[in-house]
């Protein structure tokens, strides 16, 4: 499933690279390093925010979507204008770029990402950083 030029993990990532917004145009922009703990059907990681508070990330397979963590994404109660989707981007250890466009399905106590490739590659520890733009 590799992209034509080897820069991208797959055709989907290559197509999404043309539509991913720049950081300056994004309402939500996060980038963080990950240290995965692997469970049976999920991976988790602690995320330290800029205030030094530890937050949680959970990635699992299944129907694509993302649930944002209110404090991590700086969302206010009844925050209007929350985007309908978010782009998740990571660079794999072999320097290929993986990009996914995920529907935002709600707010949670953790940052929850549901996407099969992100989960499978995390289990194999093939990346350790994620950028989230919405």
Q: What is the CA radius of gyration of the chain?
A: 14
Q: What residue ranges do the domains of the chain occupy?
A: 11-133
By DSSP bridging, strand 42-48 and strand 37-38 are antiparallel
Query: Alpha-carbon distance 34 to 48, whole Å?
Result: 10
pLDDT in tens, 93-104: 999 999 999 999
Q: 3-state DSSP call for residue 14?
A: helix
Residue pair 43/123 in contact by the 8 Å Cβ criterion: yes
Q: What is the pLDDT of residues 52-90, one digit of tens each?
A: 889 999 999 999 999 999 888 877 666 677 889 999 999
Q: Break the chain down into helix, strand, coil percent, rounded to 5.
A: 15, 40, 45
């Amino acid at each position: 499933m590799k992209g034509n030029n080897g820069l991208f993990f797959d055709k989907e990532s290559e197509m999404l690279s043309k539509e991913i917004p720049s950081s300056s145009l994004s309402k939500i922009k996060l980038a963080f390093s990950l240290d995965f703990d692997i469970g049976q059907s999920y991976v988790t990681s602690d995320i330290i925010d800029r205030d030094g508070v530890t937050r949680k990330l959970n990635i699992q397979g299944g129907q694509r979507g993302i649930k944002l963590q209110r404090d991590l994404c700086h969302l206010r109660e009844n925050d209007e204008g929350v985007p309908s989707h978010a782009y998740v981007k990571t660079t794999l250890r072999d320097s290929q770029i993986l990009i996914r466009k995920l529907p935002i399905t709600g707010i949670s106590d953790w940052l929850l990402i549901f996407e099969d490739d992100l989960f499978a590659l995390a289990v194999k520890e093939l990346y350790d950083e994620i950028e989230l733009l919405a």
